[in-house]
Amino acid sequence: MDRATELKQHLAVIDTAIREAASNCGRNPESIQLLAVSKTKPSSDIQMLHALGQRSFGENYVQEAVDKIHELQGLDIEWHYIGHIQSNKTKLIATEFDWVHTVDREKIASRLNDARDGDPLNILIQVNVDLAETKSGVSPTDLKALAIAIWKLPHLKLRGLMSIPDPVSEDDLQRAHQQLKGLFEEIKGDHPTPEIFDTLSMGMTNDLELAISEGSTMVRIGTALFGARAPKETL
Ligand SMILES: *Cc1c(COP(=O)(O)O)cnc(C)c1O
């Protein structure tokens, strides 16, 4: 099978999974967006998915992403940065991407704001729902203060929340998703313009159905769409 056919089949399987998960919990499937996580995958894959109608792509590694963004400049793609943010990369991220999912501290938000030109950058706050010490993400306790700080920054547009839970069991995962949804509703209630706070980025290949049943509006799918990634060491 050629690569384009393979990607087309994977995309159809994911689309069906999203529709079924939505209908199982009485949600409109159109309220859930697929973010294609293309890290480590060649721009030819992105081009083929674009030809099939996919428009949003997520990347984790800044330099790799910037190379692909430049290569595919003529295509109407919405680029999402979903990797860990180092301060010295904020300028590139702010100028090359349309969305950033992983903002977890004020200093980073402020640097992104300073570097942004043109339309405001769409921002999601990454929340550390498991409170794992090793992980990025603001703690639920500090979330509100960070949201308020971001509202004040003119070149950023706070759109919602994101999490990368690291569960030991299905129950833990469900609890983490419920917690993020609860925090989302809380912040939305306080948001000066709640209608623009509309995105809950939650769910990956292994928990797409669960995340949708808990209210996700954007699922970030890599493996199920592109196939397994090579171990990072070999890249
Ligand atoms: C790699 C990655 C994904 C995609 O994960 P899969 O399990 O391959 O679907 C989603 N979100 C983030 C933040 C990632 O780094």
**Using the 8-state DSSP alphabet, how is residue 114 labeled?**
H
What is the band of 1 on the pLDDT scale with cuts at 50, 70, 90? confident
35 lines ligand 1 (CB under 6 A): no
If you measure from the C-alpha of residue 157 to the centroid of ligand 1, how many angstroms do you get, rounded to a whole number? 23
pLDDT > 70 fraction of the chain, expressed in percent and rounded? 98
Please say whether the beta carbons of 199 and 180 come within 8 A. Answer: no
Residue nearest to atom 14 of ligand 1 (CA): 82
CA distance 138 to 58: 21
Phi/psi-derived region of residue 9, left when phi > 0, alpha when psi is between -120 and 50, beta in every other case: alpha
Give residue-wise pLDDT tens across range 174-216.
999 999 999 999 999 999 899 999 999 999 999 999 999 999 9
CA distance 221 to 224: 6
DSSP string, 146-215: HHHHHHT-TTEEEEEEE-----SSHHHHHHHHHHHHHHHHHHHHH-SSGGG--EEE---GGGHHHHHHTT
Please say whether the beta carbons of 65 and 81 come within 8 A. Answer: yes
Over 80: is that where the pLDDT of 86 sits?
yes
Q: Which of 41, 180, 220, 225, when mutated, tests ligand 1's pocket best, judged by the most ligand atoms within 8 Å of its CB?
A: 220
Residue 141's pLDDT is what?
96
If you measure from the C-alpha of residue 225 to the centroid of ligand 1, how many angstroms do you get, rounded to a whole number? 11
Entry pTM: 0.96
Q: Round the average pLDDT of the chain to a whole number and report it.
A: 95
What the chain holds in terms of domains, given with CATH numbers, is 3-226 (3.20.20.10)
Name the token pair of 140: 């639920």
205 lines ligand 1 (CB under 6 A): yes
DSSP string, 51-80: HTT--EEEES-HHHHHHHHHHTTTS--EEE
60 lines ligand 1 (CB under 6 A): yes
If you measure from the C-alpha of residue 219 to the centroid of ligand 1, how many angstroms do you get, rounded to a whole number? 9
146 lines ligand 1 (CB under 6 A): no
Give residue-wise pLDDT tens across range 113-124.
999 999 999 999
What is the band of 235 on the pLDDT scale with cuts at 50, 70, 90? very low
What is the band of 232 on the pLDDT scale with cuts at 50, 70, 90? low
Residue nearest to atom 7 of ligand 1 (CA): 205
204 lines ligand 1 (CB under 6 A): yes
Over 90: is that where the pLDDT of 144 sits?
yes
If you measure from the C-alpha of residue 21 to the centroid of ligand 1, how many angstroms do you get, rounded to a whole number? 19
What is the band of 130 on the pLDDT scale with cuts at 50, 70, 90? confident
